[in-house]
Amino acid sequence: MTLPRVICRAGKRLLALVSVFLVFTLVVACTAGTAGGGSPAGNSGGDAAGTAAAGDSSKFLTFFPCCSWGTTWSYNPYNVNQLGIQNDFISMRLAIVKSPSLTEFIPQLADKWAVENGKLNVHLRDDAKWQDGTPVTSKDLHDTAILNGLRGDGFWSDITGVDVVDEKTVAFTLKEGQPESLAKLDILNSIRPYPSSVYGKLVTDGLKQDVVKYFRTLQQSPEQAAKLPEFKRMGDAFKNLAQLKVDKLIGNGPFRLENITTKEAKLVKWTDFWDADKIKFAGIRYLNGATQTVYPQLFSGNVHLSNVYMPPPILNRWKTTPDSNTALPLGFGFTIVFNSNQKPLDSKAVRQALAYVIPRQQISEAAYGTDEAAGGTWKEVNTGISPTLEQIYLKPEQLEKLNKYPVDPAKATALLQGEGFTKKGDQWIKPDGKPFTLTFTANAETTDIVTSFNSAAKALTAFGIKSEVNATSGAQQDADQHNGDFQAGMAFVGGSNPIAMYNSLLGPGYNFTRLGNYAGKRGIGFGPKKNVPGLGEVDLASTIDRQARTVEPGDEMNKQVWNWAQLVNEEVPYIWYATKVYQFPFSTKEFTNWPPLGDNKSSELWDIISADMNGGLSLAMQQGYITPK
């Protein structure tokens, strides 16, 4: 099963990299509404979880990576051809951002930081150690920052250099005019230091000079930067880095890797972790599997926490299961994206007409039903950002000014007729005399999206636009949409930065792509120039991309969010039709002291878990939550 592409600001890279979401339970299943696929491992994890005596703190937690069954793993995080095992249980980040905040952080490997004289000084914990017993030092962080530059990590767009200050402090020199809050977000929340004892031999003074010069040039002239000899040397250095054979994984987190195969990995509690006394588990068992395996384990009580998608029948059964609970933090958005470069979708009026015909509430409920816990909730106002961020960055009176596009065949008819369309019998005819048909492209494994798209296609066909769904492989769907070889497609939008949400679809990663594997491709083909409210006629992709790197929270961000919300609402380059409700079923049968739930079935910690599953769950354990009875 292929993991749907979830786009967010954190960890921007110039190279196209695959992001693997590690999902957690005492068995966990895939998220994003998929309910099948993959080859289950020989053991679903029930034995390890279910046979330990009550009160025995040696019980195993079991979790596995979504959608990567049979994958070859690598201890080298820079190996782009395999999946790295590093995560927040084994290798800590500097800090974890609270959700949906962009400015508040919870310390992890770093215990304090401050901006002084244009530099972000990051101090590492004095008691942080590597699992070989050596201290975590500033050289580890410094060398990691240099090597991360070879793969184009996004924080290098914020800085012009990095230097060791003392044994525990590293200074990141911010580029002139760089907002401090965004630099902190990119550096603290994204950098996961690796031991210099393993990787530092590749960091030379010459390599550091190459990285610094390249990124300083890149900030001024991307075309010139690509021609630098430093850029070529960096490419050669990255090849050597990616090919580095790492025989042992040395982490610094609450668990250490004991063994790993293509089917499972075993992690055990590391007793020298600085907060080891708060961790209530002796080990985690990390296991592959499929949702068909998870459901019976969940109902039997052998699975104690999951983020498995529960369709209405499964959800109803779970609610009647003893000791069952469900956390419901909001997740990311499901959108229908239009290829604005392909006729007749290049017409704003046509895209608006489609918005008046596609019944967003109906297509969302076709997949999720009407239960608030059913996995997704429909979104009425198409602002291009999540309901949570609307409450933070947009005023109620602003939202009231936007078009809600209720189902209205009469308005859709008027819009199409105004563009020269005619209707013959039950079929709309384009101005060129050909029937107006529409194909939705979807990843076949995202069964809830296929269901929603089938519902949308049915409504459009009934209106006179014959429509169908092309349910294909995730790789093909992703390639077709990046190449611009589609009409209507699927996309996910997530994160806590509203400008970054707009950038994810309107920026150069997905719209007139400029970097990575799809450089030079159209993507959704919206623009390239548009008249943006409040901004005037601008190059769309480069403008929103620049704002994502420079606009920090405050009045200016509020202003720009309103500008882009008006554009998306009026031009309809994409329609946000449903907001994913993360379902986290958990059981109190054998485990207690779960993170608390508020009236909305979520909390600050569950929101962090929703936005950052590995980091949030590791954080929960560090705070003493999830204890065996």
Task: Kindly tell me if the per-residue pLDDT of 70 is higher than 60.
Answer: no
Asked if 621 and 281 touch (Cβ cutoff 8 Å), the reply is: yes
Average pLDDT estimate for 74-87: 79
Query: Which pLDDT does position 261 carry in this prediction?
Result: 72
Task: Kindly tell me if the per-residue pLDDT of 42 is higher than 50.
Answer: no
Which tokens hold the place of 396? 């109620």
| pLDDT per residue as tens digits for the range 92-125 | 999 999 888 888 999 999 999 999 999 999 999 9
Query: Which pLDDT does position 3 carry in this prediction?
Result: 29
The pLDDT > 90 percentage for the chain reads 59
Query: Which pLDDT does position 25 carry in this prediction?
Result: 38
Residue 587 CB burial class (10 angstroms; 0-12, 13-18, ≥19)? buried
Alpha-carbon Rg for the chain in angstroms: 25
Q: Which of 119, 115, 178, 14 is nearest to 546 (CA)?
A: 178
For residue 5, what pLDDT band results from cuts at 50, 70 and 90? Answer: very low
Q: Apex CA 298: angle with CA 292 and CA 302, to 5°?
A: 115
More confident call, 371 vs 76: 76
Best mean pLDDT range from 38-47, 459-468, 591-600:
459-468
What beta strand segments (E) does 235-282 contain? 255-260, 264-269
| Residue 396, preceding peptide bond in cis (omega within 30° of 0) | no
DSSP string, 6-18: EE-STT-BSS--P
Task: Kindly tell me if the per-residue pLDDT of 502 is higher than 50.
Answer: yes
Task: Kindly tell me if the per-residue pLDDT of 291 is higher than 90.
Answer: no
Query: Which pLDDT does position 221 carry in this prediction?
Result: 87
Q: Which of 140, 138, 144, 204 is nearest to 171 (CA)?
A: 138
How many angstroms separate the first and last alpha carbons of the chain?
35
Residues 621, 254: Cα–Cα separation, whole Å: 9
For residue 62, what pLDDT band results from cuts at 50, 70 and 90? Answer: low
Three-state secondary-structure class, residue 367: helix
| pLDDT per residue as tens digits for the range 134-164 | 999 999 999 999 999 998 888 998 999 999 9
Three-state secondary-structure class, residue 60: strand
Cβ count within 10 A of residue 490: 24
For residue 49, what pLDDT band results from cuts at 50, 70 and 90? Answer: very low
DSSP state of 157: G
Query: Which pLDDT does position 81 carry in this prediction?
Result: 65
Where on the phi/psi map is residue 314: left (φ > 0), alpha (ψ -120 to 50), or beta? alpha
The number of residues making up the chain comes to 629
Which tokens hold the place of 349? 């009026």
Predicted TM-score (pTM) of the model is 0.76
Q: Apex CA 537: angle with CA 532 and CA 539, to 5°?
A: 90
More confident call, 200 vs 583: 200
Query: Which pLDDT does position 377 carry in this prediction?
Result: 87
Q: Which of 474, 596, 601 is nearest to 32 (CA)?
A: 474
DSSP H helices, 464-588, are 474-483, 498-506, 540-550, 555-571
For residue 39, what pLDDT band results from cuts at 50, 70 and 90? Answer: very low
| pLDDT per residue as tens digits for the range 522-573 | 889 999 999 999 999 999 999 998 898 889 889 999 999 999 999 999 999 9
DSSP string, 18-44: PPPPEEEEBS----TT----S---S--
For residue 26, what pLDDT band results from cuts at 50, 70 and 90? Answer: very low
Cβ count within 10 A of residue 202: 18
| pLDDT per residue as tens digits for the range 373-382 | 777 889 999 9
Which tokens hold the place of 620? 């929960």
The pLDDT > 70 percentage for the chain reads 86
Task: Kindly tell me if the per-residue pLDDT of 20 is higher than 60.
Answer: no
Which tokens hold the place of 216? 């300083």
Residue 231 CB burial class (10 angstroms; 0-12, 13-18, ≥19)? middle
Query: Which pLDDT does position 51 carry in this prediction?
Result: 26
Query: Which pLDDT does position 448 carry in this prediction?
Result: 87
pLDDT mean across residues, the chain: 85
Residues 242, 79: Cα–Cα separation, whole Å: 4
Query: Which pLDDT does position 371 carry in this prediction?
Result: 82
Average pLDDT estimate for 431-455: 94
Strand 574-581 and strand 488-493: the pairing is unpaired
How many helices (DSSP H) and strands (DSSP E) are in the chain? 21, 28
Query: Which pLDDT does position 40 carry in this prediction?
Result: 22
Average pLDDT estimate for 165-185: 94
Asked if 354 and 460 touch (Cβ cutoff 8 Å), the reply is: yes
Best mean pLDDT range from 128-132, 288-292, 384-388:
128-132
Task: Kindly tell me if the per-residue pLDDT of 311 is higher than 60.
Answer: yes
* Dihedral angle, C-alpha 411, 413, 418, 420, nearest 10 °: 160
Residues 274, 569: Cα–Cα separation, whole Å: 49
Domains and CATH numbers, the chain: 91-243 (3.90.76.10), 255-330+583-628 (3.40.190.10), 331-581 (3.10.105.10)
* Of 125-139, 303-317, 485-499, minimum mean pLDDT range: 303-317
* Of 47-51, 70-74, 503-507, minimum mean pLDDT range: 47-51
Q: Which of 76, 348, 294 is nearest to 195 (CA)?
A: 76
Residues 613, 607: Cα–Cα separation, whole Å: 9
